[in-house]
A = this chain, B = another copy of it.
Amino acid sequence: MQSYTEENYLKIIYHLSVISNPVQTNAIAERIQTKAASVTDMLKKLADKALVDYTKYQGVNLTQKGKLAAINIVRRHRLWEVFLVEKLNFKWDEVHDVAEELEHIKSNLLVERLNEFLDFPKVDPHGDPIPDKDGNFESLGFVKINQLKDNESGTIMGVSEHSTAFLKHLEKLGLILGKTIKLIEISAFDSSAELLVDQQYINISKELAKHILIKKLV
């Protein structure tokens, strides 16, 4: 069993390994709001427990065991987010900090009952997939807006960036979950994207576009 802190490290390493492999000490330090020296200490400890493969100065990768533990935390986090939004009427940008605490409650019974109570949701309020008990994700086949071809349409299914600033900005633009959009064209000049949303043409930056997940209309 891992401590609260160890769980947080595993989760962060898991998220960061999507972007880079292996994961660097400084990247973890920044995300976990701590100093690089502290990260080094923890990495040694996690390596001792066979949760990560760690080579000095080279960064870390999760072992199979570590990955499973991490996915389990992600599962709990996302289930709690669904609960907060659907049952307690939290807004999607209010859930993160509370879910961050709830994810560490240790009780398999609790998680399974919660899953049942929520009717086995497949995605969280941000559109991120919820892994099952064994750590498997259902393949969702989403693409980012900047990967759409001109004139292709689709539905907003999620985001790949979770900062409050980003989410609030999206909401202001009317780019909320479930909304159907059409990509008119990507600018050759600055790669910004012109969209048709609610019969209105809007222009969003590439930075925004690449974090919005779309399910293409067939």
User: Could you tell me the distance between the alpha carbons of A98 and B110 in the complex, rounded to whole angstroms?
Assistant: 8
User: Could you tell me the distance between the alpha carbons of A98 and B105 in the complex, rounded to whole angstroms?
Assistant: 8
Counted per complex, copies of this chain come to 2
In the complex, the answer to whether B113 meets A107 with C-beta atoms within 8 Å is: no
Please judge, given known A-B contacts A88-B117, A117-B87, whether A101 and B94 are in contact too, CB under 8 Å.
no
Interface flag for A12 (CB, 8 Å): no
Residue from the list B89, B90, B106 in contact with A101, Cβ < 8 A: B106
Q: In chain A between 95 and 124, which residues have their CB closer than 8 angstroms to a CB of chain B?
A: 97-98, 101-102, 105-107, 109-110, 113-114, 116-117
A106 contact set on B, CB distance < 8 A: 101
A94 contact set on B, CB distance < 8 A: 109
User: Could you tell me the distance between the alpha carbons of A97 and B109 in the complex, rounded to whole angstroms?
Assistant: 12
User: Could you tell me the distance between the alpha carbons of A206 and B110 in the complex, rounded to whole angstroms?
Assistant: 35
**Contact residues of A: prevailing secondary structure:** helix
Which residue of chain B has the shortest Cβ distance to A114 in the bound complex?
Answer: B88
In the complex, the answer to whether A113 meets B101 with C-beta atoms within 8 Å is: no
Assign chain A's interface to a size class. Answer: 10 to 19
Which residue of chain B has the shortest Cβ distance to A98 in the bound complex?
Answer: B107
In the complex, the answer to whether A107 meets B97 with C-beta atoms within 8 Å is: yes
Residue from the list B90, B105, B109 in contact with A113, Cβ < 8 A: B90
A88 contact set on B, CB distance < 8 A: 110, 113-114, 116-117
Q: In chain A between 71 and 94, which residues have their CB closer than 8 angstroms to a CB of chain B?
A: 84, 87-90, 94
User: Could you tell me the distance between the alpha carbons of A114 and B90 in the complex, rounded to whole angstroms?
Assistant: 11
User: Could you tell me the distance between the alpha carbons of A94 and B112 in the complex, rounded to whole angstroms?
Assistant: 14
Chain B min CB distance to A207 (Å): 30
Chain B min CB distance to A120 (Å): 14
Chain B min CB distance to A100 (Å): 10
Chain B min CB distance to A77 (Å): 13
* Known contacts A87-B117, A90-B109, then 13 further A-B pairs from the complex at CB < 8 Å, ordered by chain A residue: A88-B110, A88-B113, A88-B114, A88-B117, A89-B113, A94-B109, A97-B107, A98-B105, A98-B110, A101-B105, A101-B106, A101-B107, A102-B102
